[in-house]
Amino acid sequence: MVMTARPDRRPGRGRPRHLVSIYTPWMRLRYGLSVLIWAAAALWFWAWWFQPEHNIGTLRYLVITLAVAWIMFLQVYFLNVMLRAVRPSGDLAALKGARVAMVVTKSPSEPFEVVRRTLEGMLAQDWPHDTWLADEDPSPETRVWCAVHGVKISTRKDRPDYHRKEWPRRTRCKEGNLAFFYDQYGYEAYDFVSQLDADHVPQPGYLREVLRAFVDPEVGYVSAPSICARNENESWAARMRLHHEGMFHGILQAGYSNGWAPMCIGSHYAVRTAALKEIGGLGPELAEDHSTSMMMNAHGWRGVHAFDAIAVGDGPVTFADMLTQEFQWSRSLVTLFLRYTRDYFAGLRPVLKFQFLFSQLWYPTFAIFMLMTMLVPVTAITFDMRFADVTYPAFVAHSVPVVAAFVLIAYQLKADGLFRPTDAKVISWEKALFQCAQWPWVLWGCVMAVRDSVTGRFVDFRITPKGASAEARLPLRVLMPYVVIALLSILPVILVEDAGDAAGFYLLCLFNAGLYLAVLGVAITHHMRQSGLDWMARLRRDAPQLAVTLGLAGMLVFSGWLRGMQSLHYLSTGLGPYQFTKIEFLVSGAGQGGGKSMHYSFERPVALSDRWPTTE
């Protein structure tokens, strides 16, 4: 079943009505000045970078230029969307009498105590609505609880027509579960439906904020911040993504509301049932939230981000659960790009063509970029290769102002309460490790999506365990990508004795190895704490993981002792009178070949020696 944009439907407006800017006049001035400072720093960097003498090989120079340009592009993209941020301001009196439902989905693997909290939050909303549970296989106890509390039940159990192998109405998939609800009840009985995952508890006022955007008849769907924070104190895996995505779920999605397309996030969003029925129901794949957003916009409907509609859910309990999510999401988005996007592309406005392609190709481009950051220093050492004729101090001096200006903007956004959650961190060790942990499994997911497209295969999705169903597990195969990356970064440092002018890359290789060793160390430590076993039992069970990690740590220390000072000397070249290392040539004695060896050591910089001369 393939739906395409209807040619007889006039294109919707680029910007829905009933929106107000998130910024006060003073905030707009402040952010405008901050963006100008960032732009000036970026122009200064590029004016320096493109000096002809820096190009010592077109291909090598182009590789590094593209890598830096990608980082700058992401910042430009964010700043452009950020400045457009709006929130819905519709008068809810216009929706008086509208038929509204809230529905929460439940799979057999999700405990009822998890969904019960969500149902209680739905029942407590102060806008008239019906509360539904879309349960794959409701137990007698569930039916009794729902009857007592006035909750209606939808189930596709014993309906093979809603357990198809492929979309639409796919089995073992949230889309198929909700498709039954909409076909049997939603389309005919309701004007608006807010749908939530089992663990996402709506806070007071949630439904009002979601409905506010529907005052505009052009709005077909409403997204809301996905805040997986309930278990952040217990799960470092939950904190990693929570802090990393704070700006996306807040200010970036709010900017998309102004002429772009906010992305539905599967944990919870709302639809106008007439719009959903027109496009043929929820979209395909695990990323049905993304495909539904694309289908809505291809049919001329618009979306709005309910910036203040807060529902709080669970993040991944374990490191392995988080990686499974990353693998499945990347696989699903690339599958959407390869199989379905072409059917809807023509119906999208130009800016939305760019946005949806960018979103669907984000995972592969991100993974390739991270792969490059690992391979560049390894390649430089292995082949004695420099990529540009610039010193490390000069590069840092010209790039730090750009980074600092962007970080300053991020801190302003947090201070103004524009993150979701509002207390998401700008800088944290979890954020620093998240992308290192994420990208190998993202890359594998993208590769699997291409394979699925070529072979015509499909896979069932694994539902992330929640509540009591979560299990502490960390098999060695989950950690192997980080072991391999750390090893690939350390071996060239040990094996290549003379890297020539590329010796500065020794430390960059060791820095990369240190990051992935940190991922290993933190993952194993937190896993052992979560297991609930005594320390001896933990050590016996996780002995292979510990042995591999400690072995790599020993190699890292040895390689740092072997090449660290040499690399530091080359990295600090360009400091002039502030150079803090020196090189000495030592002549071997008689009978040892009379050869020369080099010794690197610290010394007081000349500039400081002139200022504070030593006394003999």
- Please name which of 305, 310, 285 lies closest in space to residue 295, comparing C-alpha atoms: 285
Tokens of 391: 């010193």
Q: Which residues of 269-285 are buried (b: 16+ CB within 10 A; e: fewer)?
A: bbbbbebbebbebbbbb
Residue 153: exposure state from Cβ atoms within 10 A (0-12, 13-18, ≥19)? middle
Both tokens of 402, joined, read 């750009």
Q: Across the strands, what pairs with 170?
A: 164
What CATH number belongs to 88-315?
A: 3.90.550.10
Asked whether 310 and 267 are in contact (CB, 8 A), the reply is: no
Residue pointed to by tokens 């996030």? 265
Q: Give helix 362-382 / helix 58-82 axis angle, nearest 10°.
A: 150
Decide: residue 549, CB within 10 A, 0-12 exposed, 13-18 middle, 19+ buried: buried
Phi and psi of 189, rounded to 5°? -95, -15
Quote the CA–CA distance of 514 and 520 in Å, as a whole number: 10
| pLDDT (0 to 100) of residue 616 | 42
Predicted confidence at residue 587, as pLDDT, reads 59
Which residue is listed with tokens 């939808």? 154
Strand-pairing partners, residue 272, are: 192
d(CA 130, CA 273): 15
Closest CA to 142 of 104, 188, 175: 104
- Residue ranges per structural domain of the chain: 88-315, 576-611
Three-class SS of 462-510: CCCCCHHHCCCCCCHHHHHHHHHHHHHHHHHHHHCCCCHHHCCHHHHHH
Half-sphere exposure of 582 (CA within 13 A, CB side): 9
Question: What pLDDT was estimated at residue 529?
Answer: 85
> Among candidates 227, 239, 228, 329, which has minimal Cα distance to 522?
239
- The whole-number pLDDT of residue 568 equals 83
Residues 227 and 242: their CA atoms lie apart, in Å, by 7
Element (DSSP H or E) covering residue 408: helix 392-415
d(CA 598, CA 536): 47
Q: CA–CA distance from 28 to each of 25, 33, 433 (Å)?
A: 5, 9, 33
Whole-angstrom Cα distance, residue 156 to residue 162?
A: 7
Contact 408, 426 (CB under 8 A): no
The pair of three-digit structure tokens given for residue 242, joined into one six-digit string: 């929570």
Please tell me the predicted confidence (pLDDT) of residue 462: 62
The average confidence (pLDDT) of the chain is 91
Question: Hunting for tokens 């302003």 — which residue is that?
Answer: 412
What's the pLDDT score for residue 6? 44
- Asked if residues 609 and 582 have their Cβ atoms less than 8 Å apart, the reply is no
| Nearest partner of 130 among 95, 98, 97, 100, judged by Cα | 100
- A 10 A CB-CB count for 578 gives 12
DSSP class of residue 569 equals H
Which residue do the tokens 């390739």 mark? 368
The amino acid at residue 448 is M
Segments of the chain with pLDDT less than 50? 1-10, 469, 590-591, 593, 595, 615-616
Question: Cα–Cα distance between 84 and 257 in angstroms, integer?
Answer: 8
Q: How many helices (H) and strands (E) does the chain have?
A: 23, 14
Instruction: Give how far Cα 437 sits from Cα of 57, 347, 431, Å.
Output: 33, 37, 10
Q: Distance between CA atoms of 80 and 514, rounded to whole angstroms?
A: 34
Residue 88 near residue 306 (C-beta atoms within 8 A): yes
What's residue 573's pLDDT? Answer: 77
Nearest to 146 by CA among 158, 156, 138: 138
**Local structure of 102: helix, strand or coil:** strand
Rounded Cα distance, 421 and 481, in Å: 31
Angstrom distance (rounded) from CA 417 to CA 33: 19
pLDDT for 572 = 79
Beta bridge partners of 101: 130, 193
CA distances 268 to 128, 153, 162, 250, 492, Å, are 19, 18, 22, 15, 47
- Residues 6 or more apart from 580 whose CB is under 8 A from it? 572, 602, 603, 604, 605
Strands 226-227 and 201-202: unpaired
* DSSP-derived pairing of the beta strands 581-587 and 596-602: antiparallel
Strand 192-196 relative to strand 226-227, pairing: unpaired
**What percent of the chain clears pLDDT 90, i.e. is strictly above it?**
80
Given a contact cutoff of 8 angstroms between Cβ atoms, the answer to whether 464 and 316 are in contact is yes
Cβ burial 316-353 (10 Å sphere, 16+ → b, else e): bbbbbbbbbbbbbbbbbbbbbbebbbeebbebbbeebb
72, 398 contact by CB (below 8 A): no
DSSP letter string, 50-64: T-GGG-SSHHHHHHH
Per-residue pLDDT at 209: 98
